[in-house]
Amino acid sequence: MANPSPYPDSGVDTGVEPDRESTPGTPRWVKVFGIIALIVILLVVIVLLTGGGPGGGGHGPIRH
């Protein structure tokens, strides 16, 4: 009998093979994603701290 795939649920929706040879290190796309996320979070914090929140000043219904 053929050895069953360790990911029998893979590819049912996209046809993508999920169990490709993986490496122990963090993939580059995750690092890039993390850097972008960090930049976005920093920008949001800066905007909130400088008072330029969404809706033209303030944040949430408390502003009224």
Partner 1 sequence: MTPRLRKFALTTHVICSVGWLGAVASYIALDVAAATGQDAQTLRAAYLAMELIARYVIVPLALASLLTGLVMSLGTRWGLFRHYWVLISLLLTIFATIVLMAETRTISYFADRAADPTTSGDELRAMGNTLVHSIGGTVVLLVILVLNMYKPRGMTPYGWRKQHEHRTVSPP
**Where along the sequence are the contacts to partner 1 (CB under 8 A)?**
3, 6-10, 12-14, 16, 18, 20, 22, 24, 26-27, 29-30, 33, 54-56, 60-61, 64
Provide, rounded to whole angstroms, the least separation between the CB of residue 43 and partner 1.
11
Provide, rounded to whole angstroms, the least separation between the CB of residue 33 and partner 1.
7
* Number of Cβ within a 10 Å radius of residue 47: 13
Provide, rounded to whole angstroms, the least separation between the CB of residue 45 and partner 1.
14
CB closer to partner 1, 14 vs 50: 14
Of 35, 18, 17, nearest in space to 26 by CA: 35
Helical spans, DSSP H, in 1-64: 28-49
Amino acid at 11: G
Amino acid at 62: I
